[in-house]
Amino acid sequence: MSKNYKISIIKGDGIGPEIIDEAIKVLDIVSYNCGFTLEYKEYLMGGIAIDVTGKPLPQETIDGVLNSDACLFGAIGGAKWDSLPRELRPETGLLNFREAMGVYANLRPAVIYDELINASTLKAEIIEGVNIMVVRELIGGIYFGKPRANDGQKAYNTMIYTKDEIIRIGKKAFEIAMSRDKRVCSVDKANVLEVSQLWRDTMIELSASYPEVELTHMYVDNATMQLVRNPKQFDVIVTGNIFGDILSDTASMVVGSIGLLPSASTGDKTAIYEPIHGSAPDIAGLGIANPIATIQSAAMMLRYSLGETQAADIIEKAIKQALKKGYRTEDLASFDTKHLVSTSEMGNIIADFIDK
């Protein structure tokens, strides 16, 4: 009997539905060809959930995702909901969702496709061979710390990390480094912040358990600059929530576009697979969003949550073939672009390469 997996789908807002539809198109073909089935169930979150249920994160979504084998997520947010009180905003729903799912480690691979060397704003010799894994702590730090307030005259947030939280994410980074080039760069702001000093001390302590892995440290301001100056120096970057958020956007432009970077948010209960970008309201509905980050996230889901390695390989190969043949969405287009394609055309082309 063929295997059947339960996949929760959250399309969200803006370009979310457009890019998720392309990922599902690709998943349907690859699962059929590889002899397993995916049973999708859609849940609401973000702005659309506010419109339909009055809340950014309905309980049904939490229960549904926890009862599935993995979750594929689009993006949430948009100007329509920006003036709501913070606790009712789509972004608060997303943070609460990640916390409820316990997904403390967000893995963001930034790998250059040879075919896209010219799509980067950086010179070819700087970016050729870039292969970085950003390991971002996802459910702690300043996005979650209390107290937090804004009374119109004074506003503050709190950056907190406990030693246990740092050990938990540090272990993940060291373990990932063991299967790669065995180098971890821990990014912090230990010259100014107490929380970063604890982060650094804990990483040093932890590194004793991973003697084969080289641990280095970098301040976040320097790391942002180094990512653009010489990205090849990095193997695994481990960092806190806000620094990881910023650094991975920089890493995305090193490899060509924010529309390319997938991610896996993992923990002990479940995993959520999502592009690193947001809902891109400026291009929503125009049919020009790049679906590759989401299709690549779907491949990560097959590989890491379902163990369907062959299917993941097939998707990744199809993406490369589409790029090799010169198909580009607008974000990747350059002077030598042969075939400028829409969001759904890119999905169709990748799906066709899977069938070949």
Q: Which residues are catalytic?
A: 143, 189, 221, 245, 249
Q: Which is nearer to ligand NAD, 173 or 289 (CB)?
A: 289
Stretch that binds ligand NAD, among 25-33, 111-119, 236-244, 277-285 (CB under 6 A): 277-285
Judged by beta carbon, residue 95 or residue 228, the one nearer ligand NAD is 95
Q: Does 105 bind ligand NAD (CB under 6 A)?
A: no
One-letter amino acid at 120 equals S
112 or 206, CB closer to ligand NAD?
112
Q: How far is the CB of 307 from ligand NAD (least distance, A)?
A: 26
Q: Which two tokens stand for residue 298?
A: 């779907």
Name which position in 1, 282, 336, 338 contacts ligand NAD (CB under 6 A).
282
Of the two residues 64 and 78, which places its CB atom closer to ligand NAD in the complex?
78
Rule CB under 6 A: say whether 331 interacts with ligand NAD.
Answer: yes
- Spell out the residues 6+ positions from residue 27 whose beta carbon is closer than 8 angstroms to its own: 7, 38, 298, 302
Among 172, 277, 303, 328, binds ligand NAD (CB under 6 A): 277
Nearer to ligand NAD, 76 or 223 (CB): 76
Work out the end-to-end distance of the chain between its first and last CA atoms, rounded to an integer number of angstroms. Answer: 25
What string of DSSP letters covers 283-349? TTTTT----HHHHHHHHHIIIIIS--HHHHHHHHHHHHHHHHTTEE-GGG--TT-SEE--HHHHHHH
Residue 287 in the binding site for ligand NAD (CB under 6 A):
no
- DSSP annotation of 24 reads H
Q: Who contacts 142 (Cβ-Cβ below 8 Å, separation ≥6)?
A: 157, 158, 159, 240, 241, 242
Q: Treating both helix axes as pointing N-terminal to C-terminal, what angle do 163-178 and 194-207 enclose, rounded to 10 degrees?
A: 50
Least separation in angstroms between residue 290's CB and ligand NAD is 4
Print the binding letters for residues 201-240 with ligand NAD: x by CB under 6 A, - otherwise.
Answer: ----------------------------------------
Pairing of strands 236-239, 214-219: unpaired
Question: From residue 118 to residue 147, what is the string marking binding to ligand NAD with x (rule CB under 6 A)?
Answer: ------------------------------
- The reply on whether position 278 binds ligand NAD by CB under 6 A is yes
Helix (H) or strand (E) holding 247: helix 241-254
- What is the token pair recorded at 113? 């496709």
Report d(CA 128, CA 72) in Å as an integer: 30
Task: Give the nearest distance from C-beta 276 to ligand NAD in angstroms.
Answer: 7
Distances (CA, A) of 43 to 63, 177, 279, 335: 10, 34, 17, 41
Contacts with ligand NAD by CB under 6 A lie at 15, 75-78, 91, 94, 258-259, 274, 277-283, 289-290, 293, 331
